[in-house]
Structure 1
Amino acid sequence: MNRRHLLKLAGSAAAIGATMAIPASHKVFAQAATGPFTLPPLGYAYDALEPHIDKMTMEIHHTRHHAAFLATINNAAQTYRELTPANTEKVLRGLSDVPENLRMGVRNTLGGYWNHVHFWEIMTPGGAKQPSGALATAINTAFGDADKMRQQFNQAAVGRFGSGWAWLVVGRDGKLAIVSTPNQDNPLMDGVKGVVMGIDVWEHAYYLKYQNRRPDYVTTWWNVVNWDKAAANFAKASA
């Protein structure tokens, strides 16, 4: 390849880059070293969920993917003072109140931050295998039984096109429902009363172990569900 061809390719690449430039309103925020948001610990070792979720996936997911949201959120918090850990759910429920130039960044990064905090908490090694108490009663009422709920939940998780999440929620009517959301959106943005549990179906959550076999990941994920936390989430949403 001669110099003329190289220059031509470089010019084409630059042109493509210019046409694909991210609008200023959609850009993530510049790096901020410190701020009110921090990376919460898992509460268990990275290998604690094996063989269902492998150590390397958990470590990369937590220390890289989740941590990546921190700098952008902390930088946004310097401009939008309502953006604090204590106000996280309030901000997610009221994204229209966020200044327009920050809204898309807050939606993506704060959504991703909250989603992952929830995800770590809704998993545990050696937890109960079935729901109990008021949550079990509500599941039976809404779906028939826990197995039927799992089937619908699995369908929502596997059927989510591209990246996103599947959720068991307490809807506006106070009843349990299953929904899925794209990217780093979550049901709080749609006004549900609360989230009981959610599963991350971005490829980084399962690809090292399961490759393209998302159904296998979703099915085995039930072995690590923290039903005690799910019950607490349900009680909070139902109060």
Structure 2
Amino acid sequence: MASCYFNPIPTSSRLISADLSTKFNIPKLLHRKKRFGVLPRSSKVTAFYGLKTPPYEHDALEPYMSKKTIDIHWGEHHRNFIEGLNKQLEKDDILYGYTLDELVKVTYNNGNPSIEFNNAAEVWNHDFFWESMKPGGGDMPILGLLEQIEKDFGSFTNFKEKFTEAALTLFGSGWVWLVLKREEKQLAIVKTSNAICPIVWDHIPIINLDLWEHAYYLDYKNDREQYVNVFLNHLVSWNAATDRLTWGEAFVNLGEPKIPAA
């Protein structure tokens, strides 16, 4: 297994040694200057982000996603995003102390991204992507997730068609997502270009699919449609999606609870 960065400082204990207001315009995110006190530069804490491993062996998704694809996608592309982000953070301690979620939102900077954003967002997106799949995935959603999909898309078949259409009409590289929109209180399919992550718009991601060519070219060449169909029918983890929806429901009231029939 490849080596990972080790962060000996818990997230809650990382330190910020500068006021972010001079560099970022982020009124919704609490600045944490002097939360634990400002240390002299010689005593600053350096916090690195680590490379998370997929929750399965690299050959576990075969024959639908090959070990070679995961070896290269996770071991090289994902690793490069982590290493690039950590190198950027070494140059300026203004961003030390944030969780990855917070870092993505901070560096998005209300649509005027800083140079750290692309690497931070791609790390987040890939962590989420690996956990959106499982061996023996696909089939049908379970429990309340299926009910919510049928409510918001009309049927599970309609959802699959719309998800596939979104993936096939995304120009260039990017991602397609199933998200829970807080304000609308419903599920929606969202396309994002390049590294954009829907948490910057306060959406709650449920599943995502990587549409950069390195995600599927070794297995499917330029046949994006086959890749999308395989993801929906054989790879997507509806268990993970259900857990994420359950978590999201703590923040979004999706309506009155249904009373079981007698």
TM-score under structure 1 length normalisation: 0.78
Any gaps of 5 or more consecutive residues in structure 1?
A: 1-33
Which residue of the partner structure matches residue 208 of structure 1? 218
Q: SS of the residue aligned with 2:53?
A: coil
Does structure 1 residue 218 correspond to structure 2 residue 228? Answer: yes
Query: Once the 2 structures are TM-superposed, how far is the Cα of residue 238 of structure 1 from its aligned partner?
Result: 2.0
Any gaps of 5 or more consecutive residues in structure 2?
A: 1-45, 251-262
Query: Once the 2 structures are TM-superposed, how far is the Cα of residue 97 of structure 1 from its aligned partner?
Result: 4.8
Q: SS of the residue aligned with 1:229?
A: helix
Q: SS of the residue aligned with 1:93?
A: helix
- Give 1:49-68 correspondences, 5 Å limit: 49-68=61-80
CA contact (8 A) 1:35 1:75 kept: no
Query: Once the 2 structures are TM-superposed, how far is the Cα of residue 69 of structure 1 from its aligned partner?
Result: 0.9
Which residue of the partner structure matches residue 89 of structure 1? 101
Distance 1:112 1:45, change over 3 A: same
Does structure 1 residue 120 correspond to structure 2 residue 130? Answer: yes
CA contact (8 A) 2:108 2:114 kept: no
1:19-74 Cα distance to aligned partner (Å, 9 max, x none)? xxxxxxxxxxxxxxx95211111121111111111111111000000000112221
Distance 1:80 1:215, change over 3 A: farther
- Partner of residue 70 from structure 1, selected from 82, 102, 108: 82
Q: SS of the residue aligned with 2:206?
A: strand
- Give 1:13-24 correspondences, 5 Å limit: none
Which residue of the partner structure matches residue 191 of structure 1? 202
Which residue of the partner structure matches residue 7 of structure 2? none
Which residue of the partner structure matches residue 36 of structure 1? 48
Rounded Cα–Cα distance in structure 2 between residues aligned with 1:87 and 1:230 = 22
Which residue of the partner structure matches residue 7 of structure 1? none
CA contact (8 A) 1:95 1:189 kept: no
Distance 1:178 1:81, change over 3 A: same
Matched positions, count: 201
Aligned residue identity for 1:41: T
1:160-201 Cα distance to aligned partner (Å, 9 max, x none)? 100000000001322100010000111112221x00000001
Aligned residue identity for 2:237: N
CA contact (8 A) 2:220 2:227 kept: yes
Query: Once the 2 structures are TM-superposed, how far is the Cα of residue 233 of structure 1 from its aligned partner?
Result: 1.1
Distance 1:36 1:219, change over 3 A: same
CA contact (8 A) 2:108 2:117 kept: no
Q: Could you tell which deviates more after superposition, 124-133 or 159-168?
A: 124-133
Query: Once the 2 structures are TM-superposed, how far is the Cα of residue 96 of structure 1 from its aligned partner?
Result: 5.4
Aligned residue identity for 1:191: D
Q: SS of the residue aligned with 1:37?
A: coil
More helix by share: 1
Rounded Cα–Cα distance in structure 1 between residues aligned with 2:55 and 2:147 = 29
Aligned residue identity for 2:51: L
Identity of aligned residues (%): 34
CA contact (8 A) 1:168 1:179 kept: yes
Rounded Cα–Cα distance in structure 2 between residues aligned with 1:160 and 1:185 = 13
